[in-house]
Every structure is written in C-alpha cells, then in structure tokens.
Copies of this chain bind each other. A is one copy, B any other.
C-alpha cells in the first residue's frame, strides 16, 4: 500500500523551529490499525511503498508488524518487484491500495487494485475496487475486510481482535 493519502488523510504536517530541523507528524487511523492486525492474524503479509521518509511511519509500520517497508521511492515499481521476489508470490495474489498518480504503475499489475474513496480520478479508473472510506479513515480496514470476507475468514477473525 501507499502511505500519504492512503494510510493517512494526505496531510503533510511539519513542525519546525528552524528550517534545518523539521519534524514530520503523521496521523494514522485506529480502525486501519485493527484491520492490519486482523490481516496478519489471518496470515496476510503487508507492506508499504512511499516517496517520503519518515520515522513516524517507520514506527507505526513496525508497531503494526508490517513486513515490507520501502521509503524514499520516487518510482514504486522497483520496490514492488523486490517485494514480489522476497515474498515469493505471484502478482495475481497481491492487493495494492493507493490514491494518486505515482500509484498507477503498481495498480496496473496487481491482482487487486484498490483506490481509496478520495483518490484522484485516474486512480479510481484504474482500480478494481474503490473504498467507501476515505484515506486515513478506514480505507485500509475496508480493504482487509473485503479480502477476509471473500476468503470466508472474517467471522472467525472478529473474536480474535486484540486492542
């Protein structure tokens, strides 16, 4: 999945006292976090590919036990292909969630291309599924549910949820 505008609402929040030292603040979504936890419980492996670098993302991704974390990727295909190799899965088994033009090359290749509810028109057109939820407000959770329900795993996941 993408990060800014997909795992977050697209807000790029900067806090800085001097131009040299700037901190980036990122806001993730608790429902998305629960969705990722359930995905992992069900054996789904997750990762993100983003153009930015952020220790807040790194922390959240590790906290969420994401397996693949690629930052500073102006183009997403190289990271995507490395993930494919490492995971040893066919492209048809991969789902990718995105919101903007840099996500298009990956979305055109994966088995399930998902656009967040407020993705740009070009991304919505390229998607197999468009979430009702907006980015940073449950789009990842909705995607996980879609997959787990399709696999008939959702009901048994409900009672395995941990806070």
Please state if A26 and B14 are interface contacts (CB–CB under 8 Å): yes
Residue in B75, B100, B158 whose CB lies within 8 Å of A30: B100
> Is A156 interfacial (CB-CB < 8 Å)?
no
Q: How large is the interface on A (under 10, 10 to 19, 20 to 34, 35 or more residues)?
A: 35 or more
> Is A162 interfacial (CB-CB < 8 Å)?
yes
Q: How far is the CA of A19 from the CA of B10 in the complex (A)?
A: 21
Please state if A25 and B13 are interface contacts (CB–CB under 8 Å): yes
Query: Which residue of chain B is the closest to A25 with respect to CB atoms?
Result: B15
Residue numbers in B under 8 Å from A18 (CB-CB): 55
Q: How far is the CA of A103 from the CA of B31 in the complex (A)?
A: 12
Please state if A50 and B17 are interface contacts (CB–CB under 8 Å): no
Residue numbers in B under 8 Å from A159 (CB-CB): 104
Known contacts A28-B14, A101-B34; A22 and B162 CB within 8 A of each other: no
CB distance from A53 to the nearest CB of B (A): 11
Residue numbers in B under 8 Å from A74 (CB-CB): 162-163
Q: How far is the CA of A74 from the CA of B34 in the complex (A)?
A: 12
Residue numbers in B under 8 Å from A34 (CB-CB): 100-102
Residue numbers in B under 8 Å from A27 (CB-CB): 11-14
Residue numbers in B under 8 Å from A163 (CB-CB): 2, 49-52, 73-76, 102-103
